[in-house]
A = this chain, B = another copy of it.
Amino acid sequence: MTHSVAVFGAAGYTGALSARLLHRHPSFSLTSVTARSDVGRRLDDLYPHHRVPLELEELDLDRQAGVEAAVVAYPHGASAELVAALRQRDVRVVDLSADFRLRDAAVYEEWYRAHPEPELLEQAVYGLPERYRDQIRDADLVANPGCYPTAALLALAPLARAGLIDDLVIDAKSGVSGAGRAATDKTHFVTVDENLSPYGVPRHRHTPEIEQELAALGAPLRITFTPHLVPLDQGELVSCYVTGGVRTGDIELLYREMYDSEPFVELTATPPGVRDVRETNICRISVHRDERTGRVIVFSVIDNLWKGAASQAVQNLNLMFGLPEGEGIS
């Protein structure tokens, strides 16, 4: 017995990868993939390496009768209405956009626009399984975390919970797939190749999401978060500079206690590289004391399309449907 699932917005990178993972998933049955562009085109024509032999359809919720679960991979702002319609039909949703990540509609409005479905915000659970596993199991609407917040929060949670973050700078680096499939001057090969540059300075939209979850962990503070674009396709490295962390003697112990039983978090003594986690649901973390300055430096790497989006969505679906957490993504 499998659960029927649909992916809405499957023409983009994260939607297409979600479709691939669910198409091969033993406990889900991918019944349809929709898109706003490329309707009528087969997904395995658009993304040959995903090998999903389904045709992209126009959105028509009436043809989705019986679907139990949905991954929504719409842009920020465009997602909320579709999510609301799906919830009305009792479909359980994992939303890849930012629309349900911020619990406070006023904060959402400050960084995005007026929230179109504020009453749904209460239902939504923030889909970081290492943090909210139990709530996700019971959730009908899961807000899949942003890629940077996923890497940053896993890197910082042990310090935040222990009250060891006085001040924080996050310098993040991402491959180009994080910018999405839109073909622009900024994603043109010739622009990116042999280049390296900051973007979203000084107010990137992932900032309030990280701050919200750090506060929930006991570390309410304003952070500096700066992402950079690097010439590679998939992969994300987050370098966290923490003032205050060295107060505790055995920092590594904090990390081992939190993560030793986590199936998708790896601790490593030497700084990780993004290649170590390419095409996996794994977050790999190293922690370092800088005795000269009294800072703790934490590095964390994920694949932005996997743990930063699609495979984490499947991890959440697995939890929601009572399946083994790593099914289809290990």
Q: Which residues of A contact B (CB under 8 A)?
A: 13, 48-49, 167, 169, 171, 173, 175-177, 181, 183-185, 187-199, 201-203, 207, 222-224, 226, 228, 230-235, 237, 239, 241, 243, 268, 271-280, 284, 288-293, 295, 297, 299, 301
Give CA–CA (A235, B231) in the complex, Å: 12
User: Which chain B residues border A222 with CB–CB below 8 Å?
Assistant: 292-293
Nearest B-chain residue to A305, judged by Cβ: B190
Nearest B-chain residue to A273, judged by Cβ: B197
Q: A188-B188, A228-B237 are in contact. List 4 more A-B contacts (CB 8 A).
A: A181-B190, A193-B194, A193-B232, A197-B301
User: Which chain B residues border A48 with CB–CB below 8 Å?
Assistant: 268, 272-273, 275-276, 284
Contact between chains at B190 and A177 (CB < 8 Å): yes
Q: Would A203 and B276 be within 8 Å (CB), given that A169-B241, A189-B176, A231-B230 are in contact?
A: no
Contact between chains at B241 and A297 (CB < 8 Å): no
Give CA–CA (A239, B230) in the complex, Å: 14
User: Which chain B residues border A271 with CB–CB below 8 Å?
Assistant: 197-199, 201
Can you list 27 contacts pairing A with B, beta carbon distance less than 8 Å?
Answer: A49-B276, A167-B243, A169-B241, A169-B295, A173-B230, A175-B194, A181-B185, A183-B185, A187-B189, A189-B233, A190-B233, A193-B232, A193-B233, A194-B232, A194-B234, A194-B275, A195-B235, A196-B232, A196-B235, A197-B272, A197-B301, A202-B292, A203-B292, A207-B292, A223-B293, A230-B230, A231-B232
Q: Would A195 and B297 be within 8 Å (CB), given that A169-B169, A181-B190 are in contact?
A: no
User: Which chain B residues border A197 with CB–CB below 8 Å?
Assistant: 237, 271-274, 301
Give CA–CA (A48, B285) in the complex, Å: 13
Q: Which 5 residue pairs across A and B have the least CB separation, nearest first?
A: A197-B273, A171-B171, A48-B276, A202-B290, A198-B271
User: Which chain B residues border A187 with CB–CB below 8 Å?
Assistant: 183, 188-190
Nearest B-chain residue to A271, judged by Cβ: B198
Give CA–CA (A234, B277) in the complex, Å: 17
User: Which chain B residues border A280 with CB–CB below 8 Å?
Assistant: 49
Q: Would A188 and B181 be within 8 Å (CB), given that A171-B239, A224-B295, A239-B226 are in contact?
A: yes
